Amino acid sequence: MKKLIAALLCLTCLTAGTALAESLEMEGTIQPGKRLLLTAPYSGMADSLNVSQGDVLAAGDALVAISTQKVYADFDGTVTGVFAQAGDNAASVTGRYGALLYMEREALYTAQCTTSGAAADNENKIIHAGETVYVRSSADSKRDGVARVTGVSGKSYTLEVLLEDGLKIGDTVKVYRDDGFDTDSCIGTGKLNRIDPVAVTADGSVLCVHVKNGQTVSRGDVLLEMVPDALRGMKGGDGTVVMPQDGVLLELYIQGGERVENDQVLAAYCPAGELKIVCSVDEEDLSLIAVGDEFTVTFEATGDKAYDAEVTKIAAAADEKGEFAVTLTLEKTEGLRIGMSATATK
């Protein structure tokens, strides 16, 4: 009987000793589970930054705007023949269509005129660039209009018709300084022609087209935005670099106002929920850990709340302190932040 009791006591002590030996507590911190990079889609100047390191951002949030080359309307008119699309190579489009788009002036007619037929007064033979004049069809006095002198060369000058009533391409017109078409104010004759559409061209790639065919625009309106580099996948944009998914901004590698080059790394981020715990253990504790082991993790910042985690990696080499890094993956990450102190127990 005494031998049986002694054997039972010995077995109990061995079991307790084994359980004690297999328990382990590790200290560590939350680190990014993934580190992804954001790069510049094209070259340009970085505007002021909208974010800071450590910010929690949502998909689509703006990080920085990179300057573009804007193409403006030179005059009031109508957009015609929009051949460019966002992502296009400008040289390719221009080579095929002669322009990225065309614009027609509000004035549809021009006239090449001379002082031939002008009234005898010498002043009627001295034409001034920019002056307003009045034109009337030689074929039909009911067809007339208001014009402006756009160029003068000797006895020849050019008109741009600003307002017209019934005038037709090919009309021979007489030109007057008097809006009543007084004979003594005649300064010559000319022939009406259509004003050709103006080709709008640019260099680089088309980032964005701001107008559509048939749209009326004013002088100074933005027609196109261009960038110097080929665009990835021939996709355009609005000049803003945005977060591709929810996440935490880990680092910024640029400052507002500096130039960035195509494909230059702008920032690093960790996708939302992609967190890991990295702990350090001594050499003598390595035998107590294996990939796949489950641990209970607590954090100073969350009080008694416990999280489940699994060992997914054990370092094959020690660090400079002679310790080995053990990586644990969390099942849930709500309420946790990068840098939090953790205690993992099994």
6-10, 190-194, 215-219, 290-294: which has the minimum mean pLDDT?
Answer: 6-10
Residues 253-269: tens digit of each pLDDT: 999 999 999 999 999 99
Contact criterion met (CB below 8 Å) for 103 and 73: yes
The whole-angstrom separation of Cα 41 and Cα 316 is: 38
* Nearest C-alpha neighbor of 78 from the set 97, 111, 101: 101
CATH topology of domain 69-105+198-227: OB fold (Dihydrolipoamide Acetyltransferase, E2P) (2.40.50)
Q: Which amino acid type is present at position 117?
A: G
Phi, psi of 283 (to 5 degrees): -60, -40
The class that CATH gives domain 24-33+273-345 is mainly beta
What rounded mean pLDDT belongs to the chain?
A: 92
Contact criterion met (CB below 8 Å) for 40 and 260: yes
Residues 153-178: tens digit of each pLDDT: 999 999 999 999 999 999 999 999 99
Residue range 198-214: mean pLDDT, rounded: 97
Q: Is 69-105+198-227 in the same CATH topology as 37-67+238-270?
A: yes
Which CATH number applies to 37-67+238-270: 3.40.50.150, 2.40.50.100, 3.40.50.11400, 1.10.240.10?
A: 2.40.50.100
Q: What DSSP character marks residue 89? A: B
Phi, psi of 181 (to 5 degrees): 60, 40
Residues 311-339: tens digit of each pLDDT: 999 999 999 999 999 999 999 999 999 99
Q: Domain 109-194: what homologous superfamily?
A: Translation factors (2.40.30.10)
Contact criterion met (CB below 8 Å) for 174 and 136: yes
- The proportion of the chain whose per-residue pLDDT surpasses 70, expressed as a percent, equals 94
Cα three-residue angle 106-202-98, rounded to 5 degrees: 70
